[in-house]
């Protein structure tokens, strides 16, 4: 009887609107990925309604826990990024276990980051930017989206790479959408943020950009190709790209997981989704990317957890 009821449930899935929990404020990089993904995935879920729930706080761990504790029926999913792997090194007591309390549905994309400054920052090249930060240590502040957010991790890695004597003051926001408002207003000086959030602001001249964080230049992007990589600027080995994944609560029935993974993989091939993401500098995971399978996604995150622990332990003085 159980088998019949499970497969009946899977056949009927979804039986109500699906919620994508985004663990940061609306309008930021994670929210942008979630909303664009929802638009592409619903076409493969009988045009289900997909709503976004911005459950922000504690660098994304509050929203993640909300999904870990949700009913395991496939109607509540988590869209989160590298923070899934960075937060274990930063939060002594996470309310969930990353590798045990979630079902892994697959990786969505990889998003480059940009080092950006307020419009009044007296620098136009990366060299000027780095020299200005060095000359004003302890006086400039960096905005981010909480401990373990992508913007926080990038700030930690960059300060460690340039070996600042004094770590920058930091202002934490519920996401980099509100942080971006303060950067544009000049309330904060610097941020390292994802191209999904910075590309349009750079294009509009509302903020200054100095470099990208990827190992290779973004040669395919008409605007971002003009910015050097941090490796070209002498920070050898600097290579940071923000991957995003999709998760369900542990215990979600296998046929439901399969239907969701299939809808995700179909969305990743959706030309409109790929174009929208590419316009913002993001690269949607390809069909042969091993991370688009549940096993590949989980193995990748497990490796990222240990890699980021090493990085964060080394750069500890910049991480709090």
Q: Is 145 in the site for ligand MLT (CB under 6 A)?
A: yes
Taking CB under 6 A as the criterion, the residue among 13, 14, 20, 30 binding ligand MLT is 30
Q: Which residues lie closer than 8 Å to 151 by C-beta, 6 or more apart?
A: 113, 143, 144, 145, 176, 179, 191, 192, 193, 194
Given the rule CB under 6 A, which of 23-31, 92-100, 250-258, 303-311 is the region that contacts ligand MLT?
Answer: 23-31
Q: Is 28 in the site for ligand MLT (CB under 6 A)?
A: yes
Give the x-and-dash track for 187-206 against ligand MLT (CB under 6 A): ------xx------------
Give the x-and-dash track for 69-88 against ligand MLT (CB under 6 A): --------------x-----
Q: How far is the CB of 10 from ligand MLT (least distance, A)?
A: 31
Q: 115 near 210, Cβ under 8 Å?
A: yes
Q: Is 112 in the site for ligand MLT (CB under 6 A)?
A: no
Q: Which residues lie closer than 8 Å to 153 by C-beta, 6 or more apart?
A: 82, 83, 86, 240, 308, 311, 312
Given the rule CB under 6 A, which of 20-28, 201-209, 211-219, 304-312 is the region that contacts ligand MLT?
Answer: 20-28
Q: Which residues lie closer than 8 Å to 210 by C-beta, 6 or more apart?
A: 114, 115, 116, 117, 123, 125, 126, 129, 227
Taking CB under 6 A as the criterion, the residue among 36, 61, 176, 199 binding ligand MLT is 176
Given the rule CB under 6 A, which of 3-11, 145-153, 233-241, 251-259 is the region that contacts ligand MLT?
Answer: 145-153
Q: How far is the CB of 148 from ligand MLT (least distance, A)?
A: 8
Given the rule CB under 6 A, which of 8-16, 42-50, 173-181, 182-190 is the region that contacts ligand MLT?
Answer: 173-181
Taking CB under 6 A as the criterion, the residue among 20, 24, 160, 227 binding ligand MLT is 24
CA distance linking residue 47 with residue 137, whole number of Å: 52
Pair type for strands 50-54 and 18-22: parallel
Q: Which residues of this protein are in contact with ligand MLT, per CB under 6 A? A: 24-25, 28-30, 83, 144-145, 149-151, 175-177, 193-194
């Amino acid at each position: 009887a159980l088998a019949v009821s499970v497969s009946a449930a899977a056949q009927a899935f979804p039986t109500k609107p699906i919620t994508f929990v985004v663990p940061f404020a609306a309008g930021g990089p994670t929210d942008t990925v979630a909303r664009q993904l929802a638009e592409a995935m619903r076409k493969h879920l009988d045009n289900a309604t997909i709503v976004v729930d911005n459950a922000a706080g504690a660098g994304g761990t509050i929203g993640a826990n909300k999904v870990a504790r949700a009913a395991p029926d496939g109607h509540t999913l988590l869209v989160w990024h590298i923070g899934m792997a960075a937060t274990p090194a930063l939060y002594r007591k996470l309310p969930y276990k990353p590798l045990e309390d979630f079902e892994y549905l697959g990786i969505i994309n990889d998003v480059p980051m940009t080092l950006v400054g307020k419009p009044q920052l007296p620098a136009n090249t990366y060299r000027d930017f780095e020299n200005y930060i060095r000359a004003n240590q302890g006086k400039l502040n960096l905005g981010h989206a909480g401990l373990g957010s992508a913007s926080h991790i990038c700030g930690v890695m960059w300060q460690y790479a340039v070996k600042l004597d004094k770590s920058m003051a930091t202002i934490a926001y519920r996401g980099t959408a509100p942080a971006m408002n303060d950067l544009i207003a000049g309330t904060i000086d610097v941020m390292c943020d994802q191209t999904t959030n910075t590309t349009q602001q750079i294009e509009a001249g509302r903020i200054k950009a100095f470099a990208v964080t990827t190992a290779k230049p973004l040669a395919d992007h008409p605007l971002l190709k003009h910015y050097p990589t941090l490796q070209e600027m002498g920070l050898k080995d600097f290579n940071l790209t923000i991957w995003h994944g999709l998760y369900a609560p542990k215990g979600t029935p296998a046929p439901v997981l399969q239907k969701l993974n299939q809808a995700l993989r179909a969305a990743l091939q959706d030309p409109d989704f790929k174009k929208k993401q590419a316009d913002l500098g993001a690269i949607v995971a390809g069909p042969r990317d091993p991370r688009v399978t549940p096993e590949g996604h989980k193995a990748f995150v497990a490796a990222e957890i240990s890699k980021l622990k090493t990085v964060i332990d080394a750069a500890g003085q910049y991480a709090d």
